[in-house]
Amino acid sequence: MITIETWAYIRRLYLHDGVSISAIATELGLDRKTVRCAIRTENFLDRQHQPRARSSKLDAFKPAIDRLLEKTPHLSGVRILEKLKPLGYTGGKSILNEYLATLPQRQGEVFLRLETGPGEQAQCDWGQCGTLMIGNTKRLLSCLVMTLAYSRFMYVRFYLAETMEHFLDGHVRAFEAFGGVPPTMVYDNLKSVVLQRHGKTILFNPTLMDFAGYYLFKPEPCRIRAPHHKGKVERGVDFVKSNFLAGREEILAPPAELAVVNHQCAQWLAEVNRRIHGTTHQRPCDLLAEERSQLLPLPAHPYDIALKKSIYADQQAFVHFQTNLYSVPPEAVGKPLVLKATPYRIALYHHEVLVASHDRSFEKYRVFENPEHRHAILRQKRQARRHKQRDFFLALGEVAEKFLAGLTLAGARIPYHLERIMQMVDIYGKIEVLAALEKACEHGAYHCEYIDNIIQQRRRAEESATAALRPGIKHGREIRLQDIDMSQYHLNTENDNE
């Protein structure tokens, strides 16, 4: 049984506003048969529609029920039944619940539909839409829905997170789709909007207020636990789930891509905004043309929606962000960096200068390396080794410095010569190499091969002198080796090189 106020509201919704029976039943929490009956009833006070007066076991206990509800208006039917039985009530719970449903204090709240003028307001909210597999990582999938209150023109975009950079990115894209900024934005009490709330005192999220100050709109949170205050966008979220996602499960099945989901959603949304709306009986795209002239103008440049974070690169030239590693050039190691993360890119700056940029990944524990950064590290390592080699060579003494100057004037490949000479130090020792360097400088022979020849000649001379000073030992002295004609052998130069 419904009240006369509910009956009148049902007829107005159906006969004047054109709302469907199913929508009315859902909104008021009634059975569709009850709604149809109310629509057919032209006079609520007609005698044929009045309930017949009859006595029941509950009549004697109605004063007791009224006293209980006066103290506790929302006391459940089960608890009321428990309190009536000690008083002698022998009836069942069905007639009790039927009576409770007729009491004014037990009636559900009836909402008045409010309409706004062109360009006055938009409503925005998140909707949870299941999950999406990104590589080997399961991510929650959310849709941000924004609806212009007058035209019902709707914007929808899917994201893999509901953090502030995603929230603001959806706003910027929606404003561009609308062609302007609504003066008032109605929200739920999201953390992206409201940090704390005590009655009518609201502490707004400073990032959102900065964004609102840039676009000049007024954020207006709903009353707590009053989602009907933004009923237009609430119905929009339900419509996305029931009309776009329902029957399109394949776009969320692995291997799914967020870009594909958003592309198909944009195509669907274009059709939705061209349909005849059930409430306005006009196309949202047509009403948008009327509403757009009343919207605030877009600023010359969009707001920088990026999440900003101060960060340092590790010794391997990577920065850590949300379990992933992103490479930077080796010269950025040890310097203070600012990471800017949008839903699509990771950018790293040093004093406003861009040092690295990567596609943002929503997988976990991945390494993203720019090949050029790795090549730069290898080049830096080679240069470091060369500088150390030069330092080791010059540490041999003044003759090494003189020999290096000669190599430079001769235009020789200095790293090659220094490497060969330092190898000779390991083989022959420092004293022999220094002596060879001294002799090479005397003759102006600035080449590593000269150093090797000088050392070899000196060693052969010392061996000959040692052999001449040892009398009585003649074994092998009379042996003479003939020169061998090498032309009779076929040499495989390719294998020799290997």
Q: Is residue 439 part of a domain?
A: yes
Q: Are residues 39 and 101 in the same domain?
A: yes
Q: Is residue 492 part of a domain?
A: no
Tell me what pLDDT residue 376 has: 81
**Which residues, 6 or more positions from 98, have their beta carbon under 8 angstroms from its beta carbon?**
1
User: Are 8 and 156 in a shared domain?
Assistant: no
Give yes or no: residues 62 and 45 share one domain.
Answer: yes
**200 and 332: one domain?**
no
Q: Which range scores top for mean pLDDT: 32-36, 143-147, 195-199, 469-473?
A: 143-147
pLDDT at 60: 86
Q: Are residues 388 and 314 in the same domain?
A: no
pLDDT of 303 > 90? The answer is yes
Task: Decide which of 130 and 44 is more confident.
Answer: 130
Residue % of the chain over a pLDDT of 70 = 85
Q: What is the pLDDT of residues 199-208, one digit of tens each?
A: 778 889 999 9
Spatial CB neighbours of 208, under 8 Å, sequence gap ≥ 6:
164, 167, 168, 192, 193, 219
| Mean pLDDT, all residues of the chain | 84
**174 lies in the same domain as 70:** no
Same domain for 64 and 208, yes or no, is: no
What confidence tens digit (pLDDT) does each residue in 319-334 have?
Answer: 999 999 999 999 999 9
- Is position 153 within any domain? yes
Are 342 and 430 members of one domain? no
Please list, residue by residue across 366-396, b when 16 or more beta carbons sit within 10 angstroms of its beta carbon and e when fewer do. Answer: eebebeebeebbeeeeeeeeeeebeeebeeb
pLDDT surpasses 70 at 1:
no
Domain count, the chain: 4
Residue 494 has pLDDT above 60, yes or no: no
What is the predicted pLDDT for the residue at 489? 38
Same-domain check for residues 68 and 154: no
Tens of pLDDT, residue by residue over 411-424, are 888 888 888 888 88
Query: Does the pLDDT value for residue 286 go beyond 90?
Result: yes
Position 115 in a domain? no
Q: Work out the number of other CB atoms within 10 angstroms of the CB of residue 122.
A: 31
Q: Is residue 222 in some structural domain?
A: yes
Instruction: Judge whether residue 107 has pLDDT over 60.
Output: no
Q: In whole angstroms, what is the distance from residue 361 CA to residue 382 CA?
A: 32
Mean pLDDT computed over 286-307: 93
pLDDT for 255 equals: 85
The answer to whether residue 298 scores a pLDDT higher than 90 is: yes
- Identify which has the larger pLDDT, 193 or 95: 193
Does 247 lie in the same domain as 363?
Answer: no
Looking at the structure, tell me whether residues 142 and 288 fall in a common domain: yes
Query: CATH no. for residue 178?
Result: 3.30.420.10
pLDDT-wise least confident of 55-69, 191-205, 221-235, 252-266: 221-235
Domain residues for 314?
307-369
pLDDT over threshold 70, residue 111: no
Cα–Cα–Cα angle for 385, 390, 396, nearest 5°? 130
pLDDT in tens, 42-78: 666 653 444 454 567 888 888 888 888 877 777 778 7
Asked whether the bond before 255 is cis by omega within 30 degrees of 0, the reply is: yes
